[in-house]
């Protein structure tokens, strides 16, 4: 007899998630997320919110007071940033070098921006001077750019963009969902105005909370549009003509919620806050630079192992993200069939790719909790077996040996 659904507990299979994210969450984060709930305005809870803000200032490497969490996946952070910064008709420049650049364009268009796009072929990134030339030509109010575009596994260098934006009076927004914690990123030193992230990559958590940091000058633009909703507004506060076009993602109201006024906006996603706090605590405990170095080590070992197996890596290697690598699917090997064999026979998930790269490139991650030697070696050994069975000519043991050489060095 088939048991009724009500009798079945959630019992997911054990998997090693070695794709481009989500990755297997750190058990410490999962434990934190099973802690009991308290009311959202309980003094313990408001203290936990303030602690989380302080931890994320370290993670983002910023002194920005406006550093907090947006409830929702990384895309929620992106939407909150863009809908709160953009007023309909504002010019926004989006350099696109992968799928997530297209997402920024899409969201900016929906916010009513006059969007200008410059594109690079996937597998490459922009030079700072190309971006400055595009800024000169389009004179945008906002430059919106992805840092690590998971779709191509490349990281756009951002360190010069803050100074360029400052020279041209442009607000710099960046999506660091896939890069934060595993690749060097410095909000203040690089002059970034707004950055948004997610937990499910190098931060070692599940998706569902989006950390954000906002500079004082970006905050001033957002707060100039403050419009507190009826029913909770104080006497004398009225609906503003220029109010932000989303209620849920209205950063002006969300800042009032996280600030001393503790304005009642949404109901806090308490369990996600516990998880996000633990993700940041893990990173701060390890040290941000040490966490980046760990991702660089295990990412290099994975890349070396794949190369030693005779596989070709995708994209400009000089700007590869530490935490995910693109692998060209060898001729004669079915891209999706091999991924299925990895999952069915070894319980290891590796990633497919989007758009023009689908079926041509796999993406293999080494991030967060899975930026570990055993995870790297197990994945390489399993992939070697799958490729050998598929008829790919390789030297037995070469992949694991290639990675071990990196560890030995």
Give the footprint of ligand PLP on this chain (CB under 6 A).
21, 73-75, 100, 146, 149-150, 175, 177-178, 198, 207
Q: How far is CA 381 from CA 20, 206, 305, 311, in A?
A: 19, 26, 9, 14
Which one-letter DSSP state was computed for residue 359? T
Q: Copy the structure tokens of residue 150.
A: 């998971």
Contact 161, 155 (CB under 8 A): no
How big is the chain, counted in residues?
Answer: 409
CA atoms of 177 and 149, how far apart (whole Å): 9
Residue among 151 and 227 whose Cβ is closer to ligand PLP:
151
Residue among 150 and 366 whose Cβ is closer to ligand PLP:
150
Q: CA torsion sign, 102 to 205 to 383 to 312? A: positive
Least Cβ distance, residue 75 to ligand PLP (angstroms): 3
Residue among 87 and 316 whose Cβ is closer to ligand PLP:
316
Least Cβ distance, residue 146 to ligand PLP (angstroms): 5
Residue among 57 and 75 whose Cβ is closer to ligand PLP:
75
CA atoms of 320 and 340, how far apart (whole Å): 26
Which one-letter DSSP state was computed for residue 12? P
Q: Copy the structure tokens of residue 247.
A: 């209620």
CA end-to-end span of the chain, whole Å?
Answer: 57
Residue among 155 and 254 whose Cβ is closer to ligand PLP:
155
Least Cβ distance, residue 332 to ligand PLP (angstroms): 29
Residue among 353 and 379 whose Cβ is closer to ligand PLP:
353
Least Cβ distance, residue 29 to ligand PLP (angstroms): 15
Q: How many beta carbons lie within 10 A of that of residue 12, not counting itself? A: 5
Q: CA torsion sign, 99 to 104 to 107 to 108? A: negative
Q: How far is CA 158 from CA 27, 138, 182, 191, 224, in A?
A: 32, 19, 15, 9, 28
Least Cβ distance, residue 38 to ligand PLP (angstroms): 26
Least Cβ distance, residue 100 to ligand PLP (angstroms): 4
Residue among 174 and 227 whose Cβ is closer to ligand PLP:
174
Q: Copy the structure tokens of residue 49.
A: 């919110």
Least Cβ distance, residue 74 to ligand PLP (angstroms): 3
């Amino acid at each position: 007899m088939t048991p009724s659904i009500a009798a079945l507990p959630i019992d997911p299979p054990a998997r090693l998630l070695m794709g481009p994210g989500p990755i297997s969450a750190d058990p410490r984060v999962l434990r934190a997320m099973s802690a009991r709930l308290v009311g959202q305005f309980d003094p313990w809870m408001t203290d936990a919110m303030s602690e989380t803000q302080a931890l994320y200032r370290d993670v983002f490497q910023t002194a920005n007071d406006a550093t907090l969490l947006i409830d929702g996946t990384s895309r929620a952070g992106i939407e909150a940033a863009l809908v709160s910064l953009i007023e309909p008709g504002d010019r926004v420049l989006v350099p696109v070098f992968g799928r997530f650049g297209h997402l920024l364009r899409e969201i900016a268009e929906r916010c009513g921006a006059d969007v200008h796009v410059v594109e690079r072929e996937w597998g490459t990134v922009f030079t700072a001077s190309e971006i400055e030339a595009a800024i000169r030509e389009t004179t945008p109010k906002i430059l919106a750019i992805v840092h690590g575009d998971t779709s191509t596994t490349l990281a756009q260098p951002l360190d010069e963009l803050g100074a360029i934006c400052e020279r041209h009076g442009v607000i710099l927004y960046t999506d660091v969902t896939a890069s934060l914690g595993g690749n060097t990123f410095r909000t203040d030193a690089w002059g970034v105005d707004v950055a948004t992230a997610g937990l499910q990559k190098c931060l070692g958590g599940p998706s569902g909370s989006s950390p954000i940091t906002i500079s004082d000058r970006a905050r001033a633009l957002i707060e100039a549009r403050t419009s507190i909703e009826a029913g909770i507004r104080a006497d004398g506060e009225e609906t503003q003509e220029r109010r932000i076009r989303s209620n849920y993602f209205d950063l002006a109201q969300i800042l009032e919620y996280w600030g001393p006024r503790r304005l009642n906006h949404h109901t806090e996603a308490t369990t996600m806050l516990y998880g996000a706090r633990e993700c940041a605590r893990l990173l701060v405990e390890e040290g941000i630079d040490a966490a980046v170095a760990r991702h660089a080590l295990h990412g290099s070992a994975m890349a070396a192992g794949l190369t030693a197996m005779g596989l070709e890596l995708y994209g400009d290697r000089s700007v590869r993200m530490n935490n995910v690598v693109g692998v060209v699917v060898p001729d004669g090997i079915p891209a999706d069939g091999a991924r299925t064999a990895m999952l069915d026979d070894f319980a290891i998930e590796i990633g497919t790719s989007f758009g023009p790269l689908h079926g041509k490139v796999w993406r293999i991650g080494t991030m967060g909790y899975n930026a570990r030697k055993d995870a790297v070696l197990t994945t390489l050994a399993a992939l070697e077996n799958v490729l050998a069975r598929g008829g790919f000519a390789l030297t037995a043991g070469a992949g694991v040996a290639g990675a071990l050489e990196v560890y030995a060095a």
